[in-house]
A and B are shown apart, each in its own frame.
Chain A
């Protein structure tokens, strides 16, 4: 009897604690559209069973706040619009997040584990004197997270005993939140004067009509076996038939065949498409770290001993210069 009472009491108590949990998701955007990884971070935040707020900071927030207000699972949008937020410099965004944290007392602060999130969140964490957790792939409970270490070759379950849990979310490990059906309220927030120690000068973005690498359903990647940048055209043609994004191994990037934002791997982008086609890629540990959670992996390589065949669902031992055009033709039919 007593046991039963205790159990009910405990359940109520944990319900109470959950209700007092609140998560801030720092939205990533380009002042025009929300970056898709934010939607994955919102899903992760909702798994904590808490109220989810989103902070939109930028020079022009209206459009993004509008998009976010419809995203399912977002309760409140905090908007901070100021010229100082140009380029999303962490020196400027950190004081804003600290001020927001002071006002609302979030139990969790997160963002997508993109270049933006990785740059910003550790800075916020240090200011709050807490150890952050990077690139989580699973939430076990409000204080226990799973992440990969050693280039994805081990899974580490970490319990965080910090007062505020700060983490970045691996986009490919959480489904994106639905972009309609939500009805968040919004509120303006502000922070102190601009820090002025850093200045954003310019951006050179790689232009492409193909889908975004990190979220594409199909990815075709090339490595050193392509032998030149010109030969990557073979992969672009194949990708066009599959509506695929094109990625690369470090070798292909270092050799100058393609720009480095196309790199897939431990130090590049992590992808987990439905179909990953690795062409002329040997499959080094560092490359596998970025793609081995793909649903189906195809390897095309002339070396039957290449490690990529150990993870490939379908392997074709052949000269890529012969079979890639054949594959492209076959798909046209």
Chain B
């Protein structure tokens, strides 16, 4: 099969970082904070690379929207095995308000331009926790969607997707072209090896602007305020099981 896969990758604050809210309540502190590829995007890249290794796809294009720094994230995807990258340059105020609606319009426009057969995204970004972009991209293209995928199989022009749902798992069959979003259990992403990181430096990253794709990035959502959630009061350590049972009875929990 000669499919082309588009993989969306987002640069986010590293998952292990304890975030801090800005004193002016406009957002969280991002300057000087460790960033890396969104964990769900890593899984999406890994899945695309595995499909290529099975010779089910011929080309993987990694896409990221944002300022100059997202090129590092694209490089990481290239080092994992993506063939080329597209950096959709969005910066300043537009980047601050860039949300799933705008990104999905960009992804949909690129999918048409690049004649993609499959788009793989992570199920959610760990910063905005929206869980929207994949579904919205599928809608804009009128393609079927296989969200929260934990297993993906190509079967004669169709995709069999095992999805993680609330009560367990479900299996669906969707026509190609399609959009799939990766859940944690889809695979274990590989580490990029040094030779591959070196090779990735030679791979091409094209630079485009949303306007080149005919996408308006203005947003009708306004963040009024960002604040810290209420802190829990410090608790107490108990010495024995009996103490614990006593405390829980006292608190009326058992």
Bound together, the chains give a CA A161 to CA B147 distance in angstroms of 28
Inter-chain contacts of A121 with B (CB < 8 A)? 135
> By the criterion CB–CB under 8 Å, are B167 and A205 in contact?
yes
> By the criterion CB–CB under 8 Å, are A131 and B100 in contact?
yes
Q: Output the least CB separation between A293 and chain B (Å).
A: 9
Q: Which of B160-197 contact A (CB under 8 A)?
A: 160, 163-175, 183-185
Partner of A89, one of B19, B164, B172, B240: B172
Give a binary string over B34-47; 1 marks a CB under 8 Å from any A CB, 0 the rest: 00000010000000
> By the criterion CB–CB under 8 Å, are B168 and A161 in contact?
no
Bound together, the chains give a CA A274 to CA B140 distance in angstroms of 42
Bound together, the chains give a CA A266 to CA B12 distance in angstroms of 15
Q: Output the least CB separation between B58 and chain A (Å).
A: 23
Inter-chain contacts of B173 with A (CB < 8 A)? 198-199, 201
Binds A, one of B1-9, B71-79, B225-233: B225-233
Partner of A154, one of B101, B185, B229: B229
Q: Which of A250-266 contact B (CB under 8 A)?
A: 250, 253-254, 259-261, 266
Pair count A-B, CB < 8 A: 248
A131-B219 contact, Cβ under 8 Å, with A154-B21, A159-B224: yes
> By the criterion CB–CB under 8 Å, are A87 and B236 in contact?
no
Inter-chain contacts of B245 with A (CB < 8 A)? 327, 330-331
Number of interface residues of A (CB under 8 A): 88
Bound together, the chains give a CA A252 to CA B144 distance in angstroms of 32
A287 at the binding interface (Cβ < 8 Å): no
Interface residues of B, dominant DSSP: mixed
Inter-chain contacts of B138 with A (CB < 8 A)? 123
Inter-chain contacts of A330 with B (CB < 8 A)? 241-242, 245
> By the criterion CB–CB under 8 Å, are A115 and B226 in contact?
no
- Which residue of chain B lies nearest to A91 when distances are taken between CB atoms in the complex? B144
Q: Output the least CB separation between B95 and chain A (Å).
A: 16
Bound together, the chains give a CA A197 to CA B141 distance in angstroms of 13
A298-B248 contact, Cβ under 8 Å, with A126-B135, A315-B236: yes
Bound together, the chains give a CA A130 to CA B165 distance in angstroms of 25
> By the criterion CB–CB under 8 Å, are B169 and A203 in contact?
yes
A311-B251 contact, Cβ under 8 Å, with A150-B126, A200-B170, A204-B169: no
A19 at the binding interface (Cβ < 8 Å): no
Bound together, the chains give a CA A240 to CA B147 distance in angstroms of 34
Inter-chain contacts of A172 with B (CB < 8 A)? none
A114 at the binding interface (Cβ < 8 Å): yes
Inter-chain contacts of B28 with A (CB < 8 A)? 149-150, 154
Bound together, the chains give a CA A81 to CA B226 distance in angstroms of 43
For B40, B139, B238, B254, the residue with the greatest tally of chain A CB atoms inside 10 Å of its CB is B139
A125 at the binding interface (Cβ < 8 Å): yes
Partner of A90, one of B40, B145, B244: B145
Give a binary string over A102-132; 1 marks a CB under 8 Å from any B CB, 0 the rest: 0000000000001110111111111101111
Bound together, the chains give a CA A298 to CA B238 distance in angstroms of 10
> By the criterion CB–CB under 8 Å, are B175 and A198 in contact?
yes
> By the criterion CB–CB under 8 Å, are A275 and B135 in contact?
no
Bound together, the chains give a CA A178 to CA B130 distance in angstroms of 29
Q: Output the least CB separation between B94 and chain A (Å).
A: 14
A321 at the binding interface (Cβ < 8 Å): no
A-B contact pairs, 29 of them (CB 8 A): A91-B145, A115-B148, A119-B145, A119-B148, A122-B100, A122-B133, A122-B136, A123-B139, A127-B139, A131-B219, A149-B226, A150-B126, A153-B18, A156-B223, A159-B224, A198-B145, A199-B173, A202-B171, A204-B168, A204-B170, A260-B150, A261-B165, A267-B124, A275-B254, A296-B251, A298-B248, A309-B235, A314-B248, A327-B241
Knowing that A201-B170, A266-B129 are A-B contacts, what are 7 other residue pairs whose CB atoms are under 8 Å apart, sorted by A's residue number? A90-B145, A122-B100, A131-B100, A149-B226, A155-B226, A267-B184, A313-B233
A interface residues with partner B (beta carbon < 8 Å):
87, 89-91, 94, 114-116, 118-127, 129-135, 144, 147-162, 197-206, 214, 218, 242, 250, 253-254, 259-261, 266-267, 269, 274-275, 285-286, 292, 295-298, 304, 309-317, 323, 326-327, 330-331
Q: 6 closest Cβ contacts across the A-B interface?
A: A126-B139, A126-B136, A122-B135, A122-B132, A313-B235, A205-B168
